[in-house]
Amino acid sequence: MEAYEELRRLVEAAAEDVAKAEAGNKAAGTRVRKQMQEIKGVAQAVRTAILEGRAAKGPSVAPPFSPGAPPPPVL
């Protein structure tokens, strides 16, 4: 999935600035906040793609209860 690979790339790219921000570099902190906004948008694209894939496969059905297994919890 392209969006997931982009998400991984963005997180890896932010690592150096995160370390600098933790050390007190204010400019790095600003860059990290900007990168986090971009990561947030790409993460939402990943979520949307997953939901679309799930919807395309049809409704999910719980696996049947197998004998010998404890009964499912009652909520």
Please state, in angstroms and rounded to a whole number, the distance separating the CA atoms of residues 43 and 9.
12
- Please tell me the pTM assigned to this model: 0.68
Average pLDDT of the residues in 27-38: 97
Phi, psi of 32 (to 5 degrees): -65, -45
Amino acid (1-letter code) at residue 26: K
Q: What is the pLDDT of residues 37-74, one digit of tens each?
A: 999 999 999 999 999 988 888 766 666 666 676 766 77
pLDDT band, residue 26 (cuts 50/70/90): very high
The string of DSSP codes covering the chain is: -HHHHHHHHHHHHHHHHHHHHHTT-HHHHHHHHHHHHHHHHHHHHHHHHHHHHHHHT----PPPPPTTSPPPPP-
pLDDT at res. 72 = 67
